[in-house]
């Protein structure tokens, strides 16, 4: 019998309001991240006191009900996990094995997920990007290593042939979602058949959040006539330059994003901008600070394919793909912000493959703010270059260790203050790291300072209705409540409530169990 999922979905040809539920769906296959092993239930993914499976001693459950519910999916792997212990099977390999097992059980091939009353998707409908995978050196190396794990783990179970297995792998890596907890931290991966129909935009009209293992998609803009083909969510973190977002999407999903946000000239002015030296002026000033610093790729010529191939092959020589059509942004005779914008527009209109910040050292001569006319002297330009370079290296080092260092953050902020524009991407990213660092060491006053400065950055890069912005308001409000700054705490929690009511809905546990008690406490204790 064909299995049909019981999901919530939005019908087409109806209007959608901000905050409306578009889709909620259980995963086709999913796995808890190994870093969360022993902290969360492998079935419901809730963080609680858990107990080991008596068989494999690896999987954990919060109670007998979850253990019973998970048994059909776990019973085939239980003995195998015990056999390979103390080895831990990689998360990607375990998810792929779960997919293989589900398809072998038979229900996976007939599993239908309806996204309208009459339209549905199945596993076979997911795109595998087989040809792209074959050209992707990094992915093929990963696939080869996973095959070795699979043969070792499933030696008594027949595997699909290599072609079919690569197709399964492709469907998994292209269509899987990172499952996030209530604090928007990664806790696992899952494949959602219906949700995979939704395309990406860096300026999305919907957001995807999670309640345990269930994905929930809600609208963040009004849609007079709902159309699944026009629904967009963000696949990646948005607080990056357009080029960084485009590169990540090319590497992961094999498409070049050309959304309105990536090509927005006004936003492009801010990502690497200096602060005007006039303290009363908030205008961004664009300065040359690094050779061939890429800002965005514009798909206007055939040479863009060379970039795609370079990325697929794991190469870094993106410039070679553009040697015949490199449209570097030049300030030319007009060393102003208006001149920069004009040259960006000229680059786009001339079928340029790539736009950089500026590659001619002479563009830093006679730089003045286009709004107030304040001149940028040579010594200030050198200070800006140093702050940008130092920040870039610090962010790279912290990313490698996945840690935010208090002293490094303090040094970065000291170099950036009054030099980088408050919406400069490096300034925003260092502020975020600083906020996390000072929370970790419980320096609440400093954390509040960075939270206040971080809010406009989140609004600029994520937009006014994003779960991360709502979470930042909540965390800031929680700290203020702890510090008994009740008036400000109430303001921040009210701001969080406006956003999270839309992105999560009033029935979501995060809204009910995290936000509402804090909001109630702030109301009660406020004078």
The pLDDT-based confidence of 12 (bands split at 50, 70, 90) is: low
At 330-384, the pLDDT tens digits run 332 333 333 334 443 343 333 334 555 544 445 667 889 989 999 999 999 999 9
Average pLDDT over residues 473-493: 96
**pLDDT interval class at 298 (50, 70, 90):** confident
- Please state whether the peptide bond connecting residue 275 to the residue before it is cis, i.e. omega within 30 degrees of 0: no
Crossing angle of helices 91-105 and 162-175, rounded to 10°: 110
Instruction: Please name every residue paired with 186 in a beta bridge, in sequence order, or none if there are none.
Output: 180
- One-character DSSP codes across 363-391: GGTT-B-TTT--B--HHHHHHHHHHHHHH
- When comparing pLDDT for 297 and 391, which is higher? 391
pLDDT of residue 305: 54
DSSP-assigned beta bridge partners for residue 215: 25, 210
pLDDT score at 251: 94
Using an 8 Å Cβ cutoff, are 123 and 109 in contact? yes
Q: What is the pLDDT of residues 130-142, one digit of tens each?
A: 999 999 999 999 9
Whether residue 315 has pLDDT greater than 70: no
pLDDT per position as a tens digit, 119-132: 899 999 999 999 99
CA pair distance 429, 424, nearest whole angstrom: 9
Mean pLDDT on 28-41 = 95
Question: What is the per-residue pLDDT for 265?
Answer: 85
Share of the chain above pLDDT 90, in %: 66
Q: What does the pLDDT average to over 327-332? A: 32
Of 61-75, 267-281, 319-333, which gets the smallest average pLDDT? 319-333
CB 390 within 8 A of CB 397: no
Identify the pLDDT of residue 348. 34
pLDDT greater than 60 at residue 52: yes
Segment among 248-262, 279-293, 332-346, 393-407 with least mean pLDDT: 332-346
Nearest to 444 by CA among 480, 392, 486, 400: 480
Confidence class of residue 310 from pLDDT cuts 50, 70 and 90? low
Q: What is the mean pLDDT of the chain?
A: 86
At CB < 8 A and 24+ separation, what contacts does 307-313 make? 307/250, 307/353, 307/354, 308/250, 308/254, 308/256, 309/135, 311/247, 311/250, 311/251, 312/132, 312/135, 312/136, 312/137, 312/254, 313/135, 313/136, 313/137
Point out the least confidently predicted range of 44-58, 212-226, 281-295, 452-466.
281-295
d(CA 77, CA 374): 68
Quote the crossing angle between the two packed helices 64-84 and 137-153, to the nearest 10°. 90
pLDDT reported for residue 362:
56
Question: Pick the residue with more confidence: 389 or 295?
Answer: 389
Question: Which domains, from first to last, does the chain contain?
Answer: 8-37+88-233 (2.170.270.10), 276-376 (no CATH)
Residue 482 pLDDT > 70: yes
Q: Report the pLDDT averaged over residues 101-118.
A: 84
* Cα–Cα distance for residue pair 197/106, rounded to 1 Å: 23
Taking the CA of residue 38 as centre, how many other CA atoms within 13 Å lie in the half-sphere pointing to its CB? 3
Per the listing, tokens 């050309």 go with: 258
Instruction: Name the DSSP letter for residue 422.
Output: T
pLDDT higher than 60, residue 449: yes
Distance from C-alpha of 261 to C-alpha of 259, rounded to nearest angstrom: 5
Query: What is the average per-residue pLDDT within 235-251?
Result: 95
The contacts of residue 3 (CB under 8 Å, 6+ apart) are 107, 110, 111, 112
**Which of the pair, 289 or 334, is modelled with greater confidence?**
289
Has residue 417 got a pLDDT over 90?
yes
List the end-to-end C-alpha distance of the chain, in Å, as a whole number.
63
Distance CA 3, CA 296 (A): 45
Q: What is the mean pLDDT of residues 36-55?
A: 94
The pLDDT score that the predictor gives to residue 88 is 86
pLDDT at 329 over 50: no
- The answer to whether 171 and 126 have CB atoms below 8 angstroms apart is yes
Query: Where does the pLDDT of residue 312 fall: very low under 50, low under 70, confident under 90, or very high at 90 and above?
Result: low
User: 21: closest CA among 234, 209, 237, 201?
Assistant: 209
pLDDT of residue 292: 77
pLDDT of residue 11: 64
Give me the count of residues in the chain.
Answer: 527
């Amino acid at each position: 019998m064909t299995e049909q999922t019981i999901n919530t979905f939005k019908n087409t040809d109806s209007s959608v309001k901000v905050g409306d539920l578009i889709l909620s769906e259980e995963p086709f296959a999913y796995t808890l991240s190994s870093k969360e092993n022993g902290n969360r239930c492998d079935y419901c993914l809730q963080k609680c006191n858990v107990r080991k499976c008596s068989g494999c001693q690896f999987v954990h459950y919060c109670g007998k009900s979850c253990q019973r519910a998970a048994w059909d999916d776990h019973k085939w792997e239980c003995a195998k996990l015990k056999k390979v212990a103390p080895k831990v099977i990689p998360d990607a390999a375990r998810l792929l094995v779960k997919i293989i097992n589900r398809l072998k059980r038979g229900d996976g091939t007939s599993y239908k997920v309806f996204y309208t009353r009459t339209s549905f998707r199945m596993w076979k409908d997911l795109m595998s990007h087989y040809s792209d995978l074959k050209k992707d050196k990094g992915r093929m190396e990963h696939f080869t290593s996973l095959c070795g794990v699979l043969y070792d783990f499933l030696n008594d179970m027949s595997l699909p042939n290599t072609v079919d297995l690569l197709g399964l792998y492709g469907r998994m890596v292209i269509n899987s979602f990172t499952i996030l907890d209530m604090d928007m931290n990664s806790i696992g991966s899952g494949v959602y058949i219906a949700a995979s129909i939704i395309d990406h935009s860096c300026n999305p009209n919907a957001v995807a959040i999670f309640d345990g293992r269930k994905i929930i998609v809600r609208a963040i803009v009004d849609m007079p006539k709902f159309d699944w083909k026009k629904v967009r969510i963000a696949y990646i973190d948005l607080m990056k330059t357009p080029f960084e977002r485009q590169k990540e999407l090319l590497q992961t999903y094999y498409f070049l994003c050309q959304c309105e946000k990536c090509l927005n000239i006004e936003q492009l002015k801010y990502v690497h901008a200096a602060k005007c030296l006039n303290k009363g002026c908030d205008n961004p000033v664009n300065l040359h600070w690094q050779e061939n610093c890429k800002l965005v790729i514009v798909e206007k010529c055939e040479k863009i394919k060379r970039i795609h191939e370079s990325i697929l092959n794991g190469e870094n020589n993106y410039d070679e793909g553009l040697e015949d059509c490199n449209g570097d942004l030049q300030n030319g005779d007009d060393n102003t912000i208006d001149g920069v914008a004009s040259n960006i527009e000229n680059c786009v209109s001339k079928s340029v493959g790539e736009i950089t910040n500026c590659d001619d050292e002479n563009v830093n001569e006679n730089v003045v703010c286009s709004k107030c006319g304040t001149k940028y002297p040579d010594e200030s330009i050198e200070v800006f270059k140093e702050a940008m370079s130092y920040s870039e290296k610090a962010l790279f080092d912290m990313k490698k260790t996945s840690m935010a260092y208090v002293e490094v953050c303090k040094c970065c902020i000291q170099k950036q203050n009054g030099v980088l524009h408050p919406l400069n991407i490096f300034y925003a990213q260092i502020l975020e790291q600083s906020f996390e660092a000072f929370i970790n060491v419980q320096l609440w006053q400093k954390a509040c300072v960075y939270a206040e400065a971080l809010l406009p950055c989140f609004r600029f890069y994520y937009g006014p209705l994003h779960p991360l912005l709502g979470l930042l308001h909540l965390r800031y409000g929680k700290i203020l409540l702890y510090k008994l700054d009740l008036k400000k705490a109430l303001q921040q929690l009210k701001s969080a409530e406006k956003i999270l009511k839309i992105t999560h809905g009033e029935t979501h546990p995060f809204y009910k169990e995290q936000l509402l008690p804090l909001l109630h406490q702030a109301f009660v204790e406020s004078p």
